[in-house]
Structure 1
Amino acid sequence: MSSPAAAPAPEKLDAAVLKIAGVIVLGAIMSILDVTVVSVALPTFQSEFGATYARVAWTMTGYTLALATVIPLTGWAADRFGTKRLYMAAVLLFTAGSGLCATADSIGQLIGYRVLQGLGGGMLMPLGMTIMTRAAGPQRIGRLMAVLGIPMLLGPIGGPILGGWLIEAASWHWIFLINLPVGAIALGYAAWALPKDAPEPSESFDFLGMLMLSPGLASFLYGVSSLPEAGTVTDIKVWLPALAGGLLVIGFVLYSFKPKHPLLDLRLLRNRNLTVSAVTLVVFFVAFMGAGLLFPSYFLQVRGESTLHAGLLMAPQGLGAMVTMPVAGMLADRMPVGRTVPFALLLVATGFFTFTQVGTDTSYVLLCGSLFVMGLGMGGTMMPVMTSALKTLTHHEVARGSTLLNILQQIAGSIGSATMSVILTSALNDSPVIPGAVNPQSGEPITEAGLAIAAQQNPAVTQQLPVEPGALQRGLQFVADSFGTTFTVGFVLMVVVLVPALFLPRRREESHLLEDTRGGGGEVPTAPVAMH
């Protein structure tokens, strides 16, 4: 660790930092890959387990919710047990969860094992960034984000492609089994490369806050996600958990201002820059992560593409982000983000608009070009906003501010995926029923939209049911319109993000991190926020 008398760290990231970065990048890619790999497998889970889209979407929502649940524990546990030991434990838990996912024989089991995976995956990112920031120093946060951001984007680019190929070439089980050898390598690499632990327990853990926030979030999102299946907000399965969860979260917010070391330090929101950044990121993640989950499903269910082709069609988005992220990282160290982020958000919104108009034969050139433009904007948005939020915090505030932004990001992603799947499922439920057609598994009537989705995966189903001419085409158009409606909600939210983004700092502000480390504790601050 640095001391006040130590020589200033070089501007470039040296070999020692890059060696540690290799460990963190490997863990990050493994964790992020698992989000994007599963996104292309959702229709496969639907047919494999005979479940609704809203139900299988919980394999994503449960994972991200588990990430949000465990993040507040990470800072305290890192002080208590040491970052190296905790990081290796997180890799082990994630890898074990992956192996269990491959053994699931029901959608309920798969969701449960995904939650276990998320508990490990949730610690990987904040722990990795804590380790990296201590190694690199606060004055290189922007460059650090840029270097780590590029390999992290291999997840969004390679995940759908890898997932599609594994499902086609083998089975869905292999999208989880692939983590076993990677996890073993990551464990060995971490044992060799990470510095030895020197745990120094400093703060008491807010167990009461944890008992309110985590169950509250889980209960609220469960109620919201049950809406498509229940069909009405008056169903007890919807309103009771949503109400109970909402009350717990409100109780947590009121309580969190009392403890000396709360689970989430909401007092930091008095910092205007942090508040504006947090609001910008929350709305951005609700829109982008929620709707982004549905892009592969559009290619699979409307266009009838294979899982591999759907993954390849998603690659332009990651490539676009790879172009702008390193530039944005350097700019974040040199100029106010308020001068760059609004333009990046305009790029995202422009690309997003195309998807509000999708049909059954929309040009792939137009769609892939729009994904690339969205990626350009995404690469210029997330990391600069996060970096800006941390720059005005003092040394002792950074760990708490990082935890706050991390958990808000994961909560927003969970809410986004739950909300968008609710909107899509509700829209699809309005499709006309085919007279005399019944689902042999559930005994429920089959709609034109349901028939169209099933026919894209297996054309033979149309020969087994009494279908009038034109029903299939009408159903396919209805599905496309339902996706367009859902994407429109995401687009409107993306436009709304521009409002808080206009309040981001437009004047250069000196980082308090350097002043604080020179004048006091000497220890470099912990984790900046990282995307997931």
Structure 2
Amino acid sequence: MTTTDAALSATLPFRQRAIITVGITIAAMVTLLDTAIVSVALSHMQGGLSVDQDQISWVVTAYLVVLAVMTPPTGWLASYFGRKPLFLVSISVFALASMLCGLSDSLGEIVALRIVQAFFGAFLVPLTQAAVLDIHPREAHGKAIAMWSFGMTFGSFFGPTLGGHIIEEWSWRGAFFVVVPFCAVAFVLILTYLPNERVRRDKPFAFMGYILLAVGIASLQMMLDRGEREDWFSSRSIVTAAGIAAVCLLLFGVHSAISNRPFFNPKLLVDRNFAPAMMVMFVNGILQFTMVTIMPLFLQNMLGYSAILAGYVLTPRAVGAMAGNALAAQIIDRIDPRIMAVSGLLVVALAFYWIQGFTMDIGPWAVASVIIFQGLGISVVHVSLNVMAFATLAPDLRPDGAALINLLRNIGGSIGVAMLITLLTRNTRENRATLLEQITPYNELFRWQSMPELWNPDHIGSLALLEAEVTRQASLIAYINDFKLVFFIVLGTVPLILLMQRPRP
């Protein structure tokens, strides 16, 4: 069956559209599921492969760099080779490389296979996002995006919990086999039900623009991923990476402005809805990756939770996200998506405001209740934002638009995690120094009768206990400052939503 983009949604019966949506949603889910599970397995892989922390980090670094570099050309590759063939090849190679990672016995083999995984996995999320819009009529975009977001939610939120159980019950190798059956199901559904489309090989590939963008993104991702380990700009390699990123991205901007063949269509950057949506999606990346990275650290380091208990406490976030997707699917056609997006951002902001009141005595149920609101708000924002971003784009711009908006989401997540981890480390150190200045025998607070005797600064044995408690309190203040920063970032995003226009029915 061959059809054009414009007629695709009109030629497919409802049952076929539903099955395709399930298949491509699973295809998008496996990339996020893989990333979440492998991140949990790193410490176990380190021991099993007898390598140090810096060496094992290349399993993640190599994957993220290649993923970022290969996301932008998705639109051109889909039009040149065809969306369905690119889907099938990407899923097959991704699953095969993942399976081989689980069978590998050396770090070098795993890193090389992770590069292969990222090379082909980078195409899956942009392909699915554009496809879910193309196969459904405009009036069904809200429900279709909600369904697609549900799969993304499952992969990113349930991944750590699922990975923790598999690793505990089996080994780290099991983390790489989890995605294989999901890939097999997606492959069969896409092969059977997704129609072939006409290919366009008359559109030249902007090599110069892509090279500048790829080198700039790779250098930026390398800087962000390894900056904290190498003490940022005190390291020559980080300074070099930052310089290359700045020069290449600046030249890419110049090339895009003056070239007759820019890499991304300039219409994307001037679209009334898509342009502000890119900035909001950048912030959305910060929110999503912050929840995956910072919250587990807070629960384990500050509250003393085990990895499995932390996974259970964070699971309600997935419940909230699924509820948000279901709610968005029901009301997206009745309510202005701008109101939904602003409401979702305010719910997320409220959750981060509540977190600022956390202490080390907070119970798991209190944490879980806030986590639910985070998942609810983020999912509502994600659905409404995607509906508005692509509402004013022509169908032929959707593949490039999906690649660009996902690239910005990933970069936002990388920048957000690097920024928050750096602030967490430095603020902990500064808070500790400030608090230690108060630990003297002359401080009136130590004369209170309610002060534990073990914390008496007159006793040498008590100083170690005092120092440990000061470090805990300094870390808690640093975490709270991180959450406060995210709170203000979320509030600052609200005006961008108001710049968009309501999609026409």
Mark the runs of 5 or more structure 2 residues left unpaired by the alignment. 434-462
Task: Name the residue aligned to 2:494.
Answer: 498
- Deviation of the 1:493 alpha carbon: 1.8
- Among 473, 483, 487, the alignment partner of 2:479 is 483
- Deviation of the 1:58 alpha carbon: 6.3
2:198, 2:4 → 1: CA distance? 16
Task: Name the residue aligned to 1:202.
Answer: 202
2:423, 2:21 → 1: CA distance? 40
Deviations 1:110-144 (A, max 9, x none): 55544432222211122223443333233422121
Task: Name the residue aligned to 1:283.
Answer: 283
Letter in 2 for 1:369: S
1:13, 1:431 → 2: CA distance? 61
Q: 1:56 to 1:421 in 2, by over 3 A?
A: farther
- Deviation of the 1:345 alpha carbon: 0.4
- Among 499, 507, 510, the alignment partner of 2:504 is 510
- Deviation of the 1:405 alpha carbon: 1.8
Alignment of 1:170-319 (within 5 A): 170-196=170-196, 198-231=198-231, 233-319=233-319
State which drifts further: 132-141 or 373-382. 132-141
- SS at 2:228's partner residue? helix
Task: Name the residue aligned to 2:423.
Answer: 423
2:160, 2:6 → 1: CA distance? 48
- Deviation of the 1:62 alpha carbon: 4.7
Deviations 1:274-307 (A, max 9, x none): 2222222212322442353221222233333332
State which drifts further: 39-48 or 302-311. 39-48
State which drifts further: 474-483 or 404-413. 474-483
Letter in 2 for 1:127: L
Task: Name the residue aligned to 1:515.
Answer: none
- Deviation of the 1:65 alpha carbon: 4.1
Letter in 2 for 1:503: L
Letter in 2 for 1:70: M
Deviations 1:66-110 (A, max 9, x none): 333222222221222222221111112222332344356677775
Task: Name the residue aligned to 1:30.
Answer: 30
Alignment of 1:44-193 (within 5 A): 59-60=59-60, 62-102=62-102, 113-193=113-193
Q: 1:329 to 1:133 in 2, by over 3 A?
A: same
TM-score computed with the length of structure 2 as normaliser: 0.83
1:417, 1:47 → 2: CA distance? 25
1:409, 1:133 → 2: CA distance? 19
- Deviation of the 1:370 alpha carbon: 0.7
User: Residue 28 of structure 2 contacts residue 125 of structure 2 at CA under 8 Å; is this kept in 1?
Assistant: yes
- Deviation of the 1:64 alpha carbon: 4.2
1:488, 1:262 → 2: CA distance? 39
2:6, 2:266 → 1: CA distance? 34
User: Residue 6 of structure 2 contacts residue 395 of structure 2 at CA under 8 Å; is this kept in 1?
Assistant: no
2:185, 2:140 → 1: CA distance? 28
Task: Name the residue aligned to 1:406.
Answer: 406
Alignment of 1:516-531 (within 5 A): none
- Deviation of the 1:201 alpha carbon: 1.9
Mark the runs of 5 or more structure 1 residues left unpaired by the alignment. 434-466, 512-532
1:500, 1:58 → 2: CA distance? 36
Task: Name the residue aligned to 1:320.
Answer: 320
Task: Name the residue aligned to 1:344.
Answer: 344
- Deviation of the 1:339 alpha carbon: 2.0
Task: Name the residue aligned to 1:442.
Answer: none
Q: 1:316 to 1:404 in 2, by over 3 A?
A: same
- Deviation of the 1:474 alpha carbon: 4.3
1:199, 1:233 → 2: CA distance? 46
2:269, 2:311 → 1: CA distance? 39
Q: 1:163 to 1:3 in 2, by over 3 A?
A: closer
2:8, 2:283 → 1: CA distance? 41
1:24, 1:7 → 2: CA distance? 16
Deviations 1:148-169 (A, max 9, x none): 2224322234212101111221
Q: 1:38 to 1:299 in 2, by over 3 A?
A: farther
2:120, 2:185 → 1: CA distance? 16
2:131, 2:395 → 1: CA distance? 15
2:232, 2:157 → 1: CA distance? 37
TM-score computed with the length of structure 1 as normaliser: 0.79
Alignment of 1:396-475 (within 5 A): 396-427=396-427, 468-475=464-471
User: Residue 221 of structure 1 contacts residue 242 of structure 1 at CA under 8 Å; is this kept in 2?
Assistant: no
> Once superposed, what is the RMSD of the aligned Cα atoms?
3.3
User: Residue 224 of structure 2 contacts residue 414 of structure 2 at CA under 8 Å; is this kept in 1?
Assistant: no
Deviations 1:504-530 (A, max 9, x none): 33xx4426xxxxxxxxxxxxxxxxxxx
- Deviation of the 1:320 alpha carbon: 0.8
Q: 1:115 to 1:160 in 2, by over 3 A?
A: same
Task: Name the residue aligned to 2:449.
Answer: none
Task: Name the residue aligned to 2:393.
Answer: 393
Q: 1:44 to 1:391 in 2, by over 3 A?
A: same
Deviations 1:30-79 (A, max 9, x none): 22212322344456567776756x98676556544433322222222122
1:41, 1:428 → 2: CA distance? 27
Q: 1:379 to 1:165 in 2, by over 3 A?
A: same
% identical aligned pairs: 25
Letter in 2 for 1:391: A
Q: 1:359 to 1:38 in 2, by over 3 A?
A: farther
User: Residue 74 of structure 1 contacts residue 126 of structure 1 at CA under 8 Å; is this kept in 2?
Assistant: yes
- SS at 1:380's partner residue? helix
